[in-house]
Structure 1
Amino acid sequence: MNHSKTYRQEIEGGYLWSPKKERGGRRSQFYDNLRIAAPGERIISYAKGRIISVGQVSDFSFTAMKPAEFRGTGENWSQEGWLLPVSWFRAEKATPIGSIILGLQPLLPEKYSPFNKIGLGTQKAYLAEISEAAFEFVLLSAGFGKASEIDFPAANLYGDFIAGQENKMQYFLETDQTLSETERCQSILARRGQGLFRRNVASIETMCRITTVKTPSFLIASHIKPWRLCSSSFERLDGNNGLLLTPHVDLLFDRGYISFDNDGAVIFSEKIKESELMLLGLRRTPLAPPLAFSPKQIPYLDYHRASVFLG
């Protein structure tokens, strides 16, 4: 992980953040790696020519706005990117990469390596995948010892970050003088699936598409494009941007473990185990024939599959 510009904020905050694409819209394997990283995997922090920390991924990444603590850093980065929760363990003393690069070079990958042939950080490299041998070599050379012996601090998880981001968005709405009092109030109520948003969703959706439960008191009005990421009050209140889901299905949908095709067929992420689905009382075969979504719902579903679903 080469994050010289933002390492202080990311290590203190317990995360990594990157744009989704390079400037100009091109995909980057170094950015895509945040989406690939899984809980329990380890990351070495490299910044300013030194090995600084080792981290452990604590949750899958998710779409998040660029952290406010970055301030003016990365002015050319898009505002929306991937946030990966990481529990960091900081070294007592940073290790210059130059002191270990000769032994490390033979262990690095030929493609998407974090360092070039002379030991400098590869241009545009952010999160790079390295072998277990390379990882262990860096840990031992930088004085961390064995990975299994590192006592990582308590981790922030998805819910911790989401609550913080939604609280900031709610404060912004509460102080936005361009909104009417009614629009402001309804936009905030929509955060919890209440008020006008729920009524709008209920005028389109009649039951949980997975469990087929129809009793209103058992259903949550869930945003398809997350409330915190909506670009306007219209999106936050649009009934086409919502589904009625039972609480456990709402949790899986919000976290990206399930999504839907445009024809209504449910999609399950490979990152949720079959045994866990069974314990939740869910199965991959539908209880009822899929019901196709309307044209107005499809743009929101496209966003969910691309930016929320853990494919």
Structure 2
Amino acid sequence: MANPPRRNWTRPEQIRALELYLRTPFGRIHRGNHEIIKLAKSIGRTPSALSLKMANFAALDPTIHQKGMGNFSKSDGEIWAEFFAAPSSFLSKLPDLEPIYEQTPLPTDRFVHELREGVDVERTVKTRKNQNYFREMLFASYDGKCALTHIAQPELLNASHIKPWATDIEARLDPRNGILLNALHDRAFDRGLITFEDDLSLVVSKHIDLPEISRPFFEGKSLIRPSRFAPDPAFLAFHRDNEFEKFLR
């Protein structure tokens, strides 16, 4: 029996493949992944074809160490560029995001002030889903571990925005604008008590009062480089210039 004719990937299919790629650890991009099986069925593809398409997106990421097949199409590249040009707008067009980590309580202090009292439920739910999706991307990039301490307990980990949530709408869902940190370092980062150089080394404010027992958690440390979507130097520079030691201004 002759094989059925090869069917070109449509734009909606490519977008769904990219959406799943963004939140799937590289090591789980294979035909046995239940999420890949589920999406493949919904778009009429085989799990093998979908996993290859997802892996090929890796070849478009200049920061990833493990490359895909390398035979991505021109339209793959265009969709990749479209996402990183405006991540929040891009993902807002996908109404059915299903975060893996939605069951994990998320810290709300980062963005609750953005929501006016009495705001409609739809906006609140959308904000929560966006935050959860951002968290998923960082979990995939950092293999579910704190970038400073390697703590892997989800309940202790926060998806830290480098350029704050309220500052840049499009950067809110850019995985290069995030670092997966434990709750202590996340709070210090948010309050401007620590920051990071472009080489990912930790900078600690002289105004932080560290007892001797706590110094090993802050001094001489650097971020582990994620498997993909490393922090963008432009976002790190913004944090150093505008957020670090902001309490002194």
Q: Of Structure 1 and Structure 2, which has the larger fraction of its residues in strand?
A: 1
Q: More relative contact order in 1 or in 2 (CA 8 Å, sep 6+)?
A: 2
User: TM-score under structure 1 normalisation?
Assistant: 0.37
Q: Of Structure 1 and Structure 2, which has the larger fraction of its residues in helix?
A: 2
User: TM-score under structure 2 normalisation?
Assistant: 0.45
